[in-house]
Structure 1
């Protein structure tokens, strides 16, 4: 099956051109819809998500939607070629986007052939269960939450390297009956639309001397 779901372990921009090429080579991208949550100066940050695609497609139509502050009619966004769910406060993203209406929308666009890409929090919430690291919540506790259910055979952890999250991930794995796949800041787990793993792409930036 086609590569349709891209789980990014960190924040934008995408540094690995292998990932970009997998997205742009199989489908012409004319419309990107980015789902995010409100925070101060959120708008300038959005270009970090799109800049790698704008160099490939000159007439890119981009929408930015903040479902924590606005109501939308999803029917107006069914022709999206690429859906991006952003990075940020994981628990706020879970509260905003883990609901049946948003799941129905994501299922619909996947069935139409669109790509769905989640960054950090946006990747976590796509699973049936969500591992929230102690580094990722104000209670500094391991939390297992419900997600959208696009994949169920595993969980993921994000920022695995920069958060030094191995011990937390290992403890969390004891609470669930499936493996937790660690994703470093620049790693990407690629799935088909049924949530099966196609490949894991790791990329390690050259250390600064």
Structure 2
């Protein structure tokens, strides 16, 4: 059975030092892909995603409705994938329940490590829980995620957005066994869907 590797961070890049080392070990110097929302200043910001990562090259892929055959071929050739942060609902729209999302799941179960920052982390579990602080409606949203890991809900910006009550509600609503709140400048590493490493402040809460 191929091992799976999932890295999730509570805010924007770069990787924490030890998690960068683990991700680098997973990709073994190979090419990485960075999936991001194209916006002003993105080209200057993008290098933060692979800061501290030992990779041969990076392939930056702006999210959109459809991709060319060569774009998807290049993505499939990468040894690691990083999903950026920003507007969670937009990331979900472009990735979950799309051809791109299906490819990412295939890569993940083939042993390709996937890392998500903030929005990129929130869409990884089976259930994507979006904070009231992170959407125009100002209410907690429960939407389908990629399903890379199940029975877990994630809260980003945990300390900074005072997400304790929202995480409790998410656990109760989804009936997940565990909720993980990840503060800014913090991250976690799941090996075979089990939390094995963390850097920075995280809060772990189990269902009642």
Length-normalised TM-score, structure 1:
0.85
Q: Tell me which residue corresponds to 1:51.
A: 51
Distance (whole Å) between structure 2 residues aligned to residue 72 and residue 50 of structure 1: 24
Residue 151 (structure 2) aligns with: 153
Aligned equivalent of 1:135: 133
Structure 1 CA distance for aligned equivalents of residues 3 and 92 of structure 2: 27
Whether the aligned pair in 2 keeps the contact of 1:31 and 1:80 (CA below 8 Å) is yes
Give the match's secondary structure for 1:52: coil
Determine helix, strand or coil for the equivalent of 1:46.
helix
Residues 1:19 and 2:19 aligned together? yes
Shift of 1:188: 2.0
Q: How many residues align?
A: 197
Residue in 2 that maps onto 1:207: none
Picking from 45, 56, 62, the partner of 2:58 is: 62
Gaps of 5+ in 1: 205-209
Q: Distance in 2 between matches of 1:72 and 1:103?
A: 15
TM-score, L = length of structure 2:
0.86
Q: Is the alpha carbon distance of 1:43 and 1:27 closer, same or farther for their aligned partners in structure 2, counting shifts above 3 Å?
A: closer
Q: 1:3 Cα shift?
A: 5.7
Shift of 1:77: 2.0
Whole-angstrom distance in 1 between the partners of 2:169 and 2:88: 19
| Aligned residues of 1:29 and 1:82 also touching (Cα < 8 A) | no
SS in 2 for 1:164: coil
Instruction: Say which of 186, 189, 197 aligns to 2:194.
Output: 197
Is contact 1:78–1:108 with CA below 8 Å preserved after alignment?
A: no
RMSD: 1.9
Give unpaired runs (5+ residues) of structure 2. Answer: 202-208
For residues 171 and 113 of structure 1, do their structure 2 counterparts lie closer, same or farther at Cα, with a shift above 3 Å needed?
closer
Does the CA-based 8 Å contact 2:65-2:94 persist in structure 1? no
